[in-house]
Amino acid sequence: MSNLVLSGEIAEWEFLDEIDTPKSFEAFCTYRDLGVGRSLKRTADILGKRIELISRWSKNGRWTERINAYDRETERIKREVSEREEIIAHKNKLRKYRETIEDLGWMQLQVAADAVYLVSKALVKYKNEDKELKPLEVRALAAAGVSASEIGAKLLNDGLAVTELLNSIDSLSEPEPGDYIDITSTNV
């Protein structure tokens, strides 16, 4: 939220009763809105006024000082918006990452369950046929099941950690709709 809004002050680039008239403020707004390439001559040309009048209004209305304040505030707001957009982009990437690792985690747990099922099935088969699994086969099947379950559990834990990170980011103060001031308004 703009410090100006919080303090209740009128921004320097707004209509100031003590120095602006409706016509001089209209000229100021035209000058202000020209942006980086602004000039008093261009303002005079746009408004069809004499350069001497625009120059007098500029001097008496402290246009340079007011424009500098306007430009600083505009840049501050642009940086703030850019930072918020960057945070939103990072949050979206984290959400996508979390979804991916959760999916992979569940797949790995399914692989582990399948390995356990195969071992159980093989044991029943060998038991019924009075055959035994070779120690190397038992070891390989057990290792595959354990490895898949460990990987799945780790991925799911990572997903939970990302969820906690997203929750902590979300708990940071989110701007309310009224927290912004429209510095481009030309209320007279």
Structural domain boundaries in the chain: 1-61, 87-174
**Residue 6: band (very low, low, confident or very high) from pLDDT cuts 50, 70, 90:** very low
Q: For residues 148 and 94, which has the higher predicted lDDT (pLDDT)?
A: 94
Q: 3-state DSSP helix/strand/coil percent for the chain, to nearest 5?
A: 75, 0, 25
Give the model's pLDDT for residue 125: 75
pLDDT digits (tens, 9 = 90+) for 84-135: 999 899 889 988 988 888 888 888 878 878 877 877 787 777 777 766 667 7
Distances (CA, A) of 170 to 87, 98, 150: 10, 15, 30
Give the model's pLDDT for residue 2: 47
Model-wide pTM > 0.75: no
- Residue 64 buriedness (CB in 10 A; 0-12 / 13-18 / 19+): exposed
pLDDT(4) > 70: no
Backbone torsion region of residue 145, taken as left when φ is above 0, otherwise alpha when ψ lies between -120 and 50, otherwise beta: alpha
Pick from 3-17, 34-48, 165-179: least confident: 165-179
Question: Are the CB atoms for 105 and 159 separated by under 8 Å?
Answer: yes
**Residue 187: band (very low, low, confident or very high) from pLDDT cuts 50, 70, 90:** very low
Question: Are the CB atoms for 20 and 28 separated by under 8 Å?
Answer: yes
Question: Are the CB atoms for 32 and 38 separated by under 8 Å?
Answer: yes
The closest alpha carbon to 97, from 167, 168, 162, belongs to 162
pLDDT(176) > 70: no
Q: For residues 176 and 157, which has the higher predicted lDDT (pLDDT)?
A: 157
pLDDT(160) > 90: no
Q: For residues 26 and 157, which has the higher predicted lDDT (pLDDT)?
A: 26
* Cα(120)–Cα(115) distance, integer angstroms: 9
Give the model's pLDDT for residue 31: 96
Write the single-letter amino acid at 87.
I
pLDDT digits (tens, 9 = 90+) for 25-51: 999 999 999 988 899 999 999 999 999
* Cα(65)–Cα(71) distance, integer angstroms: 10
Pick from 56-65, 113-122, 175-184: least confident: 175-184
